[in-house]
Amino acid sequence: MLDRYAQDLAGLAVRGRLRKLAPRVGMDFASNDYLALAESPELAAAARAALARGVPIGAGGSRLLRGNHSEHEALEEDAARFFGAESALFFSAGFTANEALLSTAPQREDLILYDALAHASAHEGMRLARAPNARFAHNDVGAAEGAIRAWREKGGRGRVWIVVESLYSMDGDRAPLDDLCALAEQNEAFLLIDEAHATGVYGPGGRGLAARFEGKDNVITLHTCGKAMGVAGGLLCLPRVLRDFMINRCRPFIFATAPSPMIAACVRAALKIIEAADNRRAELMSRIELAGAELRRLCAIEPSGSQIQPIIVGDDVRATTLASRLQALGYDIRAIRPPTVPEGSARLRIALTLNTRKEEVAQMIAHLREELARLEP
C-alpha cells in the first residue's frame, strides 16, 4: 500500500532532492526574519498586552460565522491606511492569500499572465483558477506585452491579470514595477504584486517597493506578515469591491477557520514597529553592502543587491554538499533545489538578517570562498 510513496522518496534521495526537517542550528543565514522582529521584546510585549486585554488565541470559526473578531477588522483598517490601499483582507498565511486571490478573482474569459519565477503559491492559485494562464520570461516586460497581444489576436476579450513579485524570493532581484504598471494601464489589466520579501525592508516606513502604486483600481498587493514583520499571515490590499467579492466567493476564506485574533493583534503592533524601523533598515542595508563587497572581492560573485543572495552551483548534490559543509562550520545555510528553482540552478540561498552581526557575515563569506574552492567540478 505504501510502496509507491517509498519509491518516490527513494527516487528523490538518488537525485539529491530528498527534503528533511532540520532544527535551528548555527548562525541565521536562512530565515526571512530580516529585521529580527520574530523574537523581539517589542512583539513579545504586544502579545502580552493583547492577552491582558482579553484577545483570544483562537477564532473559533470562520470569519462569516462567529470567527470574525474586532482585531481582524482593526488590523484590516490599519493595514489599508498604512499601505495606502482602499481596503485589506487578512489571511492566515501569505501562501493562502495568493492562492485564494488567483483561484477566485480571475474569471473564465480572463488571462493570468505570470512571471516565470512567480512563487509556488501563485502557481497553486492558477491551478485552481477558472482562467487560463501563460508565462513570460523573467522580468521581460516586452515578452509580457507580446503575450497579451497574441492572446488578444486569438480572440481573448476578458481582463489580463499580471502576476509578479516585487523582490524575487530565490534570486533577490527586483521587478521593473514602473514598466509593469504602465503595461497594465495600457491594457486595462490588473497587476498583482507580491511584496513578501519587500514589506518592512523597502519603501517609506517599510511599505514595500510597490508603495507608490497602492490604491490604484487595478493594483493588488500582497504583504506577508511572517517575514520582516516577524509574525504570521498575509494581507491582501485591494479595491473594496474586490474585497467584498472575495468575502462572498473565495472558498479558502469562506470555509476556513479565521486567523488567530492574537496574531492579528501582533500584526497590528508589527505595522507600527516597521514604520518606525528606519534604524533597523539602515543596519540591514549595511550588511547587504558588506556582503556584496565581500562576495565580489573573495568569490567573484556579483551580488543581488538585496538581502537575498543566491550562490548558484547548478548540480543538486553539489548544492547540498556545500550547504552541509557550511552548516558544519556553524552557519545555518540551506540548499535550494528544483522544483523550487529551475532545473540546473540548484543553489544556496543566503539570507541577510539582523540576527547576525557584520563580522559574522564577513566570516561566513570567507568560509564560503574556501568551500567553493573545495567543491568537485
Residues noted as catalytic: 32, 119, 165, 169, 194, 197, 227
Q: How many CB atoms lie within 10 A of CB 276?
A: 11
CA angle, 341 as apex, 337 and 342 as ends, to 5°?
A: 110
* pLDDT at 15 (0 to 100): 85
DSSP secondary structure string for all residues of 251-275? HHHHSSBPPPHHHHHHHHHHHHHHH
The sign of the CA dihedral 336, 337, 339, 343 is: positive
Domains of the chain: 24-37+278-374 (3.90.1150.10), 55-275 (3.40.640.10)
Is residue 42 within 8 A of residue 269, CB to CB? The reply is yes
Q: Is the pTM of this model over 0.85?
A: yes
Ordered per-residue pLDDT tens for the chain, 377 residues: 999 999 999 999 988 888 889 888 899 999 999 999 999 999 999 999 999 999 999 999 999 999 999 999 999 999 999 999 999 999 999 999 999 999 999 999 999 999 999 999 999 999 999 999 999 999 999 999 999 999 999 999 999 999 999 999 999 999 999 999 999 999 999 999 999 999 999 999 999 999 999 999 999 999 999 999 999 999 999 999 999 999 999 999 999 999 999 999 999 999 999 999 999 999 999 999 999 999 999 999 999 999 999 999 999 999 999 999 999 999 999 999 999 999 999 999 999 999 999 999 999 999 999 999 998 76
Is residue 196 within 8 A of residue 189, CB to CB? The reply is no
322 phi, psi to nearest 5 deg? -65, -45
Residue position matching grid coordinates 539582523? 354
* pLDDT at 205 (0 to 100): 98
* pLDDT at 24 (0 to 100): 87
Closest residue by Cα to residue 34 from 176, 202, 170: 202
Q: How many CB atoms lie within 10 A of CB 142?
A: 11
DSSP secondary structure string for all residues of 205-224? GG--TTGGGTT-TTEEEEEE
Closest residue by Cα to residue 163 from 101, 113, 219, 123: 113
| Residue 281: all three cell numbers together | 533598515
